[in-house]
Amino acid sequence: MGRSVLVVGGGGREHALAWRLAASPSVDRVVSAPGNPGMAQLGPTVPVDTGDPDAVADLAEGQSSDLVVIGPEAPLVAGAVDALQARDIPAFGPVAAAAYLEGSKAFAKGIMEAAGAPTAGYLATSEVEQAYAALDRFAPPYVVKADGLAAGKGVRICEDLADARAAVDDALVHRRFGDAGAQLVIEEFLHGPERSVFGVCDGQDVVLLTPAQDYKRAHDGDAGPNTGGMGAYAPVPGFGRDDITELRELIFLPVLRELASRGAPYRGLLYAGLVQTSDGPKLLEFNARFGDPETQAILPLLASDLGDLLAASASGAVRDVEVTWHDRAAVTVVLASGGYPGSYTTGKPITGVDDADTRPEVTVFHAGTGQADGEGLVTAGGRVLNVTAVGDDVEAARRSAYAATDLIGFDGLHRRSDIAAGV
Ligand code: AMP
Ligand code: GLY
């Protein structure tokens, strides 16, 4: 008998995880909590307060789950995996003490430093005068980061010193981010292209996944405000699995050793955000979960069993799992609500998803959708749908993905038109 897997979360990343798990020979059943209308096509969806570790553990027990896969960072930082481990339920994701890598930028910098992993020079402080003094040590542009989780709004890049000081005041004096900004990290600006590298970790060892390129800005040509991500493609020419093997020794293994020595071995997905500088790769940040929407472009390329890999991360050795990939490319285009990442309205009827999804090379992942009585599928979030296509190369995948987006409509739909262009 195959596994029964519970996927916690309800965005595009979780839909992609549930979709790939449902297609894994080792998996018989996928339950999603809370899930979304797309995930509901793969198995039961059950409401849960994802921020309540005991509620997650109660649900997993009630569902007799053999494996729980936690998608977003908030349940991890709240201790969902700790609660599951206490009941001997295998869980994919780090315990809270290890997820603190994403929960606190100062903690992450301390781990990078102790592990000897390359990163930007920095100072962490909760004192205004010390923060000002740190700014004087660096050249513009200045980087001022709230220590804690600030819903993606905690990082300010400032061209001049007056703005940087104002950013310090906002956080430390005006408490704009509440406790998340009670401590700041001031750091050196890193020049170069940004890359995200995902490692599936088992506490000691790591398997690196095919890297994807994310598009963070809202508008074409990398203009407009930062978003959670407007699209992605994989693989990235010149930055494939063979090109990143050095990152195992340089970053992942020393960081795993450091966390294990502190009694918080890291299991789950370790996301390293890097800048390729002229001095080599340097770490910007860690995340404790899969990237969104990068995952939606990576998982369609995975040929081997995702259930086996995630289960090995939870309670086995990832090096014992055979991980293979299709020699193809994937492109994901995010369809967003007009106004995102600022304010937007929801409840708009969505048309054409089935037409797009039935194309053999296309999968439409639901990110912010809902079912409304009498209306069918409606928008329910900023990032609404993630249209993914695979092809023989990035250009073929890109053409298929965009052709499929043309079949889908809702009032105010916004998408970038340059995802994976010119790759
Ligand atoms: P973070 O949440 O730390 O990833 O920061 C958000 C974004 O700010 C990153 O994706 C980068 O684009 C930018 N950023 C953060 N820190 C730096 C840095 N030290 N140098 C250059 N850009 C940075
Ligand atoms: N796409 C960026 C992230 O998941 O953090």
pTM of the model: 0.95
Ligand 1 centroid to 191 CA: how many Å? 10
The ligand that comes nearest to the alpha carbon of residue 194 is: 1
pLDDT score for 151: 75
Q: Give the tens place of pLDDT for each residue, 32-48.
A: 999 999 999 999 999 99
CA torsion 329→91→39→22, rounded to 10°? 60
Given a cut of 90, is residue 150 above it in pLDDT? no
pLDDT score for 153: 79
The ligand that comes nearest to the alpha carbon of residue 186 is: 1
Q: What is the largest CA-CA distance in the chain?
A: 63
DSSP state, residue 189:
P
Average pLDDT, the chain: 96
Question: Which ligand 2 atom is nearest residue 287's CA?
Answer: 5
User: Which residues, including other chains, have CB under 8 Å from residue 196's CB and lie 6 or more apart?
Assistant: 211, 212, 214, 271, 272, 273, 274, 291, 294
Q: Give the tens place of pLDDT for each residue, 181-211.
A: 999 999 999 999 888 999 999 999 999 999 9
Tokens of 122: 């920095």
Alpha-helical (H) ranges within 28-154 are: 53-62, 73-78, 80-86, 96-103, 105-115, 128-137
User: Is the peptide bond prior to 254 cis by the omega test (within 30 degrees of 0)?
Assistant: no
Domains and CATH numbers, the chain: 3-93 (3.40.50.20), 122-187 (3.30.1490.20), 191-320 (3.30.470.20), 329-405 (3.90.600.10)
Residue minimizing CA distance to atom 4 of ligand 2: 291
The ligand that comes nearest to the alpha carbon of residue 287 is: 2
DSSP per residue over 282-314, as a string?
EEEEEESS--TTHHHHHGGGB-S-HHHHHHHHH
CA distance 267 to 155: 27
pLDDT score for 251: 97
pLDDT score for 1: 80
CA-nearest of 154, 159, 211, 152 to 178 is: 154
DSSP state, residue 1:
-
Ligand 2 centroid to 333 CA: how many Å? 14
Q: Give the tens place of pLDDT for each residue, 205-244.
A: 999 999 999 999 999 999 999 899 999 999 999 999 888 9
Ligand 2 centroid to 292 CA: how many Å? 5
- Cα–Cα distances in Å, from 133 out to 104, 275, 370? 22, 25, 49
Given a cut of 90, is residue 374 above it in pLDDT? no
Burial of 26 (0-12, 13-18, 19+ CB in 10 A): middle
Burial of 420 (0-12, 13-18, 19+ CB in 10 A): buried
Q: Which of 149, 287, 334 to mutate to test the pocket of ligand 2 (most atoms within 8 A of CB)?
A: 287
Between 161-172 and 128-137, two packed helices, what is the crossing angle to 10 degrees?
A: 150
Residues at CB less than 6 angstroms from ligand 2: 214, 228-229, 287, 291-292, 294
Collapsed DSSP state (helix, strand, coil) of residue 252: helix
CA torsion 269→276→135→225, rounded to 10°? -70
Q: Give the tens place of pLDDT for each residue, 123-144.
A: 999 999 999 999 999 999 999 9
pLDDT score for 294: 97
Given a cut of 90, is residue 149 above it in pLDDT? no
Residue minimizing CA distance to atom 9 of ligand 1: 284
Residue minimizing CA distance to atom 7 of ligand 1: 155
Question: Which ligand 1 atom is nearest residue 187's CA?
Answer: 19
The ligand that comes nearest to the alpha carbon of residue 282 is: 1
Residues at CB less than 6 angstroms from ligand 1: 120, 143, 145, 155, 157, 187, 189-190, 194, 273, 284-285
**161 HSE (CA, 13 A, CB side):** 9
Ligand 1 centroid to 326 CA: how many Å? 31
Q: Give the tens place of pLDDT for each residue, 103-113.
A: 999 999 999 99
- Cα–Cα distances in Å, from 211 out to 198, 228, 299, 325, 328? 7, 17, 11, 12, 13
- Given pLDDT bands bounded at 50, 70 and 90, which one contains residue 9? very high
Q: Which of 17, 213, 294 to mutate to test the pocket of ligand 2 (most atoms within 8 A of CB)?
A: 294
Residues 393 and 361 sit within 8 Å (Cβ to Cβ): no
pLDDT score for 423: 92
- Cα–Cα distances in Å, from 130 out to 120, 122, 169, 186, 286? 18, 12, 12, 10, 25
Question: Which ligand 1 atom is nearest residue 285's CA?
Answer: 3
Ligand 1 centroid to 51 CA: how many Å? 26
Stretch 51-60: mean pLDDT: 98
* Residue 175 neighbours by CB distance under 10 Å: 12
Residue minimizing CA distance to atom 3 of ligand 1: 285
Residue 44: phi, psi to the nearest 5?
-65, 150
Collapsed DSSP state (helix, strand, coil) of residue 163: helix
The ligand that comes nearest to the alpha carbon of residue 156 is: 1
